[in-house]
Amino acid sequence: MEVRRKDRRLMSQINVTPLVDVMLVLLIIFMVTAPMMQAGIDVSLPKVDAAAISSSEEPLVVSIDSRRRIFLNERRFSPSELSAKLAAIHSANREKMVLLRADETVPYGVIMETMSNIRKAGIEKVGMVTEPDSGRR
């Protein structure tokens, strides 16, 4: 009996189809979950009828919770520490935008004081985060 070696050739190429399939599934998962991951500090936002702000760069998020604690992204700061941190960030990137998220139970004066601290740091682009009001039309 004679065994033919020509029929039993090994493939020396990598099959990338399963890898591409996995990468596409991961891409879709990340695209769907990325918008949900911005929440950060739990605040009850006021509901208003306003247009959304568009920005090409990821903004900083300053949050004030119902106990009047101030957070930059998810790290807690005192008002003076916040100004110093934002001033340092502003000196590195003059185009940085700050979004202010405040619980609807926080007094107006506390919100304005925080906004004043943001402006004292030199940041000109400040936006207020609210939830869309679906009840009015």
**Tens digits of residue pLDDT in 45-78:** 666 665 555 556 677 889 998 898 999 888 899 9
Residue 106 lies in a domain: yes
What CATH number is given to the structural domain containing 84?
3.30.420.270
Picking from 75, 96, 100, the residue whose alpha carbon sits closest to that of residue 86 is: 96
Determine, yes or no, domain membership for 1. no
> For residue range 104-136, what is the model confidence (pLDDT) as tens digits?
888 989 989 998 888 888 888 888 877 776 665
Confidence of residue 80 (pLDDT cuts 50, 70, 90): confident
Which residue range is the domain that position 44 belongs to?
40-132
pLDDT for the residue numbered 137? 45
Q: Quick check: 98 and 123 in contact, CB under 8 A?
A: yes
Query: What total number of domains does the chain contain?
Result: 1
**Predicted TM-score of the model (pTM):** 0.57
